[in-house]
Amino acid sequence: MARGKGEEGPHPVDRHVGRRVCEKRLALGYNQSDLGRALGLTFQQIQKYEKGANRISASKLWDIARFFKVDIGYFFEGLSGAQIAGLAEGGSDFDHDFPATRYTIEISRLAPQLSTRQQKLALELIRDMADRKETDED
């Protein structure tokens, strides 16, 4: 049963933690099956964790942190008390609507290695491609 779901889908904190798991998994070059095997889970369960559809238990998050060799706090980086309090009061959701893929992660990892001019050119190219995709879909 998907425990992380409310009326409007998974809880934002569950989505954030799941996204951090996904980002770290991709950055380390593992696929969902690799992580699943290491934890004694199916890749489908890893998918549910990463989407925030199923909450990750404390013991499973501990196992994931040990597998990735990170502190458990890694998965909560980017969350602030003010954001969480705002959510409790009906505030806006975290911005996790774009999918983390190995390509988006690699782009963000490589971008700082480019000169400022090259970064601007790459950004213009990506914006142009995104704009064209939107007009192609209309």
Residue 83 CB partners (closer than 8 Å, separation 6+): 91, 94
Local structure of 84: helix, strand or coil: helix
Per residue in 59-98, pLDDT (tens digit) is 999 999 999 999 999 999 988 765 565 555 555 444 545 5
In this structure, the answer to whether residues 63 and 110 fall within a common structural domain is: no
Residue 52 lies in a domain: yes
In this structure, the answer to whether residues 66 and 110 fall within a common structural domain is: no
Local structure of 124: helix, strand or coil: helix
The percent of residues above 90 in pLDDT, for the chain, comes to 46
In this structure, the answer to whether residues 69 and 110 fall within a common structural domain is: no
Q: What does pLDDT average to over the chain?
A: 82
- What the block records as the tokens of 38 is 């290491």
What domain count does the chain have?
2
**Residues 36 and 46: beta-carbon distance below 8 Å:** yes
In this structure, the answer to whether residues 18 and 61 fall within a common structural domain is: yes
Q: What are phi and psi of 62, to 5 degrees?
A: -60, -45
